[in-house]
Amino acid sequence: MSKNLTEDTINELVSTYGNSVLRMCYLYLKDYQLAEDVTQETFIKVYEKIDTFENKSAIKTWIMRIAINLCKNQMRTHWFKRKAMEHIPEIASEDEFDIILDKDAISLEIMKLQPKYREVILLFYYQELPVKEISYILNIKETAVLQRLRRAREQLKPSLKEIL
């Protein structure tokens, strides 16, 4: 990856990874407009920080790490915490992606998990990332990723049996 991003290159990255980043942000934030904002901010950071990319991981992994960190930052804000406490679901736009996520009982069960378990499930199953790359994104050991996956699966098993 070149250290200088051209407009074509950034457009290619957005085209290739934009939907994955948006989906991940939506699953974290549960708010479509906020997820769009964080997705846009992610690619701005990619553009600004490309010179810090060291090829230690795939570019997708690096981009997802940026997106997750921005989601976590957003979730720390006073506004977000207050909104989350209201327990009022955000009405998403009417496109197919939102309808599927809103009605998907499995996604709802995943969202009930503690954040540390939810994020490994989302990265492993929804983003289809290998354990090594999840380890890099979350800055934890591979064994910790495997342990969190195991515990998340254990927590999901009873509710998934009811759904499936």
Kindly list the structural domains of the chain, giving each domain's residue range(s) and its CATH number in brackets, ordered by start: 1-93 (1.10.1740.10), 104-164 (1.10.10.10)
Cα distance between residue 19 and residue 21, in whole Å: 5
Average pLDDT over residues 3-9: 71
The residue type of 19 is N
Q: What is the pLDDT of residue 81?
A: 57
Average pLDDT over residues 112-125: 89
pLDDT tens track for 27-46: 888 888 999 999 999 999 99
Contacts 24+ apart (CB under 8 A), 50-58: 50/1, 50/2, 50/3, 50/4, 50/5, 51/3, 53/1, 53/3, 55/1, 56/136, 57/133, 57/136, 57/137, 58/133
Query: CA of 126: how far to CAs of 53, 88, 137, in Å?
Result: 24, 25, 15
Closest CA to 75 of 85, 60, 65: 85
Percent share of the chain, pLDDT over 70: 77
Average per-residue pLDDT in the chain?
Answer: 80
Q: Is the pLDDT of residue 122 over 80?
A: yes
Q: Is the pLDDT of residue 47 over 70?
A: yes
Contact 43, 18 (CB under 8 A): yes
Distance separating the N- and C-terminal Cα atoms of the chain: 43
Q: What is the pLDDT of residue 79?
A: 65
pTM: 0.66
Average pLDDT over residues 63-92: 69
